[in-house]
Structures are given as C-alpha cells and as structure tokens.
Chains A and B, each alone.
Chain A
Amino acid sequence: SQTIHQWPATLVQPVGSPLSLECTVEGTSNPNLYWYRQAAGRGLQLLFYSVGIGQISSEVPQNLSASRPQDRQFILSSKKLLLSDSGFYLCAWSATTSGTYEQYFGPGTRLTVT
C-alpha cells in the first residue's frame, strides 16, 4: 500500500531564515505530487505541483520554490521566510495510471514564522 511522509511535523523559524520541507511517497511509481498551504481557518491553496522529476508548476507567485530531485521526493524551500509564510503545509500525491486523480495527503508540517 502507498504511504506518504512529511517532515518535520512542526517548525518554528525566525523571519528571514531559510526553509526546507520534505515529502516522500512509498509504494507507487511516477506519482503526481503537490504542495498545499492552509492558513488558519481557511481552505487549501495549491502552491506547486509536479508530474515528473524536475517538472514543477507554480500556482502562486511568492518567495517559495519546489524541487523534485527523485521520482518520489518533493521538497518545498525558501531562502528567506516571511511572517505570511506561517501555516499548515500539506504534501499530496495522486496516481497517474488510475485516471481518477484523487489526491491523498501527508500528515502535514505546521510552520510558525516568528
């Protein structure tokens, strides 16, 4: 069965510091991968998605970036965090072979920028 991991689970970082969040998927090959952010009391905002190694689509211009160095690894980064980057970051995957594209979410990282 497929599992998705994210780490760290929680993170407190000062403004201006760098960020690296990691997501890995097990039990599937060539998944679509997604990064979402959820602000307190809000829905999910799609940040990036990837349909393959090195292929990244950005949905919202901001100071974040994403990379996919391996088939089942997705990384969210920032060189300098802003206060507005605080939120709950969720990674998700979907199968490319089923044709249905429902997405399954990781446990999330709660980021507080101080």
Chain B
Amino acid sequence: EDKVVQSPLSLVVHEGDTVTLNCSYEVTNFRSLLWYKQEKKAPTFLFMLTSSGIEKKSGRLSSILDKKELFSILNITATQTGDSAVYLCAVLIQGAQKLVFGQGTRLTINP
C-alpha cells in the first residue's frame, strides 16, 4: 500500500526561528512529490519536486527531495506568524494521476 508519513505532526516555535518539516514515502511508482500549505480552507500549492538534490526555493521557503532515501524536507527560515498552517506533503503516483497525502504537520508560530 502506498504510504506518505510526515513528522512532526505538530510543531510550535517562536517567530524568527527556522523550522524543518519532514516527509517520507513508500510508494510503488514514484513520479513527484508536492508540498501544500493549508490555512483555514483549501490547500495552496507550494512546490513540486521530481529530481533528487535540486532545491526549490520561494522566498523563505525551500524544499529538497532525496529519492534514494525516499524523503523530502521543507525548510522555513525567519518564520512569521503568517506561516502558521498545516503543511501537507503528497506523492504523485506514476501513471495513476492521483496524489497520496501524508497526515500533515500543524505548524504554529508564536509572536
């Protein structure tokens, strides 16, 4: 069975801290890995990673994929209260056109 596991499930830090969120996966036919941010309603797309070792970056957020060890990390530097959200990791299965989601990491940034 295809599986995506995120850790930690919950994280509370102070504004300005740097955080690292983890996502590991076991799937039959990997195509790519996606990160989403979910605040109150719909998840919004952050990154798609297909190749190992190539960092994707957007402002204070960055992510990298390791296809040998089957995991990805999402880094957020200089966190702000607006970064508080649930961060979802998902794996796209080759040929199936569907995503398998992890359970999410709830990140809380305290001022």
Contacts and interface: CB of A to CB of B under 8 A. Distances in A.
A32 interface: yes
Interface of B: 4, 6, 31-32, 34, 36, 41-45, 48, 88, 90, 92, 97-104, 106
> Which of B32, B92, B99 lies at the interface centre, i.e. has the most chain A CB atoms within 10 A of its CB?
B99
A51 B34 CA distance: 20
B45 A49 contact: no
B42 A100 contact: no
Interface of A: 32, 34, 36, 41-46, 49, 51, 59, 90, 94, 100-108
Contacts of B99: 34, 44, 46, 103
A57 to B, nearest CB: 8
SS of B interface (majority): strand
Given A100-B32, A101-B92, A34 B45 contact: no
A103 B34 CA distance: 9
Given A51-B97, A104-B45, 10 more contacts: A34-B99, A36-B101, A41-B106, A42-B103, A46-B98, A49-B97, A105-B36, A105-B42, A106-B42, A107-B42
A85 B32 CA distance: 30
